[in-house]
Structure formats: C-alpha cells, structure tokens
C-alpha cells in the first residue's frame, strides 16, 4: 500500500516491541479494506513513556496500542481514562482526541468475551466460572465475566493473597481459592479460564486434573502459543468445549482500529489463518 500525504497513522508502544503481532494484524485489516493508513511498531524505553505519549498529538498520530511494560504507566499519563480501564488498572489502547487530549481504554476484557462468544455456546447464566491466575489478564477476565452477568467467580492463584486482593478489588461475587484446591474448585463450574502463563511455550505446563469438571463446561485458555495447550487437549479429549486464546488477541485489536482508521473490522477464519501462519514462522 502506497501512503498519501493524508495517511492515518497509529502504532504500538512497548519495550521490547519486536515480538508484537499487532503490526501484522492491523496491517492485514488496512490492506484488506484498502485504507490509506499505517500501523507501526515503536520501541519506547522505560522512562520515556510520558514523552512518547505527549508527542502523539504533535506528530498527528491517531493513537497507539500499549504493551508491556507500559500499560499501568499509560493509565497514569492519559488525560481521560475509561471506567473499564480504571477497573482493570491498565490501558492498552490510546486514542488522540481532536483537542489533542489522550483518552485511554482497555480492550482486553472485550477481546476475551467476544472470543468466548464467537467460539463457544457458553452463556453467562450457565453457572460459576473459575479463573486460574490473578495477574493483569485475570483482572480483565474478572471484569469481562462480571459485566457479562456471571453470578459467581472462583479466583485460583498460586499466590493466594493476590487472588484475595483481586476478589476484594472487584466488588462482585468473587472468591479467592488456594492453588492446592484448584481441582475441587472445578466442581459444578460452567467455565474455566486459564490466565496464568502456564502452558505457554517455554513455560511449565498447567498441572490440573479435570475429573471434577462437568462435561458441559467450557474450557478457555488465553495462552495462544501453542494454540492447543495441554489443558485444551485434555479438555477436548474428555468431551468439554474448548476455546483458544488467539481470538482474544484478534478481538482486542478491533476497537482501536475502528477508532483510528474509521472502519469496522471483523475476526474471521482468514485472519486467524494469517496470524497462525505468522506465529508458526516465528
């Protein structure tokens, strides 16, 4: 795509940023929709975040995605922060307003729930949910499931205090469960979401027997490298519905793209295949 002088420009800020899939993902949509625009990776070291964010309006950029380690710092630096991003405690999408102010959003909860809805028959009223983990992704998962109307969430984490802190912060029907009791926590659950890094390439597998999980429950692993983790393979083998994490990555990108480039976009099999090819070449 050859850019005109009026091209809209957005990008991703991170440190490091070279591993980010976002330029490929947004590049796919830009090309598919024939948009006069570009999405570029920007390596911003710690200590220069505020300077980088403040430069966006002056450079005429439409906004940025924000990845590690800048998500919390960006929340503090934005002029306006969406209430969802405040509840999650992190900003992953910045939109430059017409008046030059920076508005911060978090689209991880949206990505998580959209993917779950697109790829399973799960309904919030099906029953209790179990979230494994209590880090940033678990926070987004909690907010997403509570807002979807889940009536009870069990948060299971290796560091129990972190699970208790998350349950307290959510002011909803959330309870902390010790890691040693993770298998009992599956009893009667309608949904299990792994938000730990266990099972990801280069990390130990998630050690979790599924015997007490109802067969009608959905098992969702937000890890996407590999696409089918040991957790998902085990769940599929015993007859549970499974959802992988790739779609979360794809859906979370939609609101930013739509705000910056003014075109609604979809997540379909073509996009999944494109990103999968990209991941397998990495």
Please identify every residue annotated as catalytic. 71
Contacting residue, 51, 125, 159, 212, with ligand NAP by CB under 6 A: 159
Q: Which is nearer to ligand NAP, 217 or 222 (CB)?
A: 222
Neighbours of 159 (CB within 10 A): 11
136-148 and 108-119 are packed helices; what angle lies between their axes, rounded to 10 degrees?
60
272 binds ligand NAP (CB under 6 A): no
Binding window for ligand NAP (CB under 6 A); candidates: 45-53, 168-176, 210-218, 247-255:
247-255
Rounded to whole angstroms, the Cα distance separating 250 from 138 reads 18
Q: What b/e readout covers 78-103, taking b as 16+ CB neighbours within 10 angstroms?
A: beebbebbebbbbbbbbbbeeeeebb
Q: 76 pairs with which residues across the strands? A: none
Binding ligand NAP by CB under 6 A: which of 73, 245, 255, 256? Answer: 245
Dist. CA 83–CA 33, nearest whole Å: 31
Whichever of 11 and 133 has its CB closer to ligand NAP, that residue is 133
Cβ-based neighbour number of residue 165 at 10 Å: 15
Shortest Å, Cβ 249 to ligand NAP? 4
Which residues, other chains included, contact 154 with Cβ-Cβ below 8 Å and sequence gap of 6+? 128, 129, 130, 131, 174, 175, 177, 185, 189
177's CB contacts (< 8 A; 6+ apart) are 130, 154, 155, 156, 163, 185
Question: How many residues contact ligand NAP, by CB under 6 A?
Answer: 25
Site for ligand NAP contains 136 (CB under 6 A): yes
Which residues 162-191 are close enough to bind ligand NAP by CB under 6 A? Answer: 162
Binding flag, residue 110, ligand NAP (CB under 6 A): no
| Segment near ligand NAP (CB under 6 A); pick from 21-29, 46-54, 55-63, 222-230 | 222-230
Which is closer to ligand NAP, CB of 96 or CB of 113? 113
Out of 191, 249, 253, 275, the only residue in the binding site for ligand NAP (CB under 6 A) is 249
Options 12, 134, 143, 145; binder of ligand NAP; rule CB under 6 A: 134
* Least distance between ligand NAP and beta carbon 81 (Å): 19
Give dist(CA 50, CA 56) in Å, integer: 10
**Residue in 90, 88, 87, 67 with CA at minimum distance from that of residue 77:** 90
Please report whether residue 20 would count as binding ligand NAP according to CB under 6 A.
no
Give bridge partners of residue 95 from the DSSP assignment: 63, 103
β-partners of residue 221 are: 194
Of these, 33, 158, 230, 272, which contacts ligand NAP (CB under 6 A)?
158
Residues at the contact surface with ligand NAP, assessed by CB under 6 A: 108, 111, 133-138, 157-159, 162, 195-198, 200, 204, 222-224, 245, 248-249, 252
């Amino acid at each position: 795509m050859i850019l005109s002088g009026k091209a809209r420009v957005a990008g991703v800020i991170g440190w490091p940023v070279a591993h980010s899939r976002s330029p490929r993902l947004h590049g796919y949509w830009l090309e598919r929709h024939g948009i006069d625009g570009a999405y570029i990776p920007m390596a911003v070291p710690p200590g220069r975040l505020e300077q980088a964010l403040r430069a966006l309006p002056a450079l005429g950029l439409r906004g940025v995605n924000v990845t590690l380690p800048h998500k919390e710092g960006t929340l503090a630096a934005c002029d306006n922060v969406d209430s969802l991003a405040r509840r999650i405690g992190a900003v992953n999408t910045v939109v430059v307003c017409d008046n030059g102010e920076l508005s911060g959003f978090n689209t991880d909860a949206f990505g998580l729930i959209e993917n779950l809805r697109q790829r399973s028959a799960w309904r919030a009223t099906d029953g209790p949910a179990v979230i494994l983990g209590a880090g940033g992704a678990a926070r987004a998962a909690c907010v997403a499931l509570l807002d979807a109307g889940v009536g009870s969430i069990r948060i299971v984490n290796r560091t129990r205090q972190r699970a208790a802190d998350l349950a307290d912060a959510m002011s909803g029907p959330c309870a902390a469960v010790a890691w040693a009791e993770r298998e009992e926590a599956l009893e009667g659950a309608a949904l299990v979401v792994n938000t730990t890094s266990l099972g990801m390439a280069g990390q130990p597998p998630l050690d979790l027997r599924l015997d007490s999980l109802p067969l009608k429950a959905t098992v969702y692993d937000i890890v996407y490298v590999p696409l089918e983790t040991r957790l998902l393979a085990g769940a599929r083998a015993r007859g549970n519905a499974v959802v992988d994490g790739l779609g979360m990555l794809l859906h979370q990108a939609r609101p930013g793209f739509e705000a910056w480039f003014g075109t609604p976009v979809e997540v379909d099999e073509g996009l999944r295949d494109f990103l999968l090819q990209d991941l397998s070449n990495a």
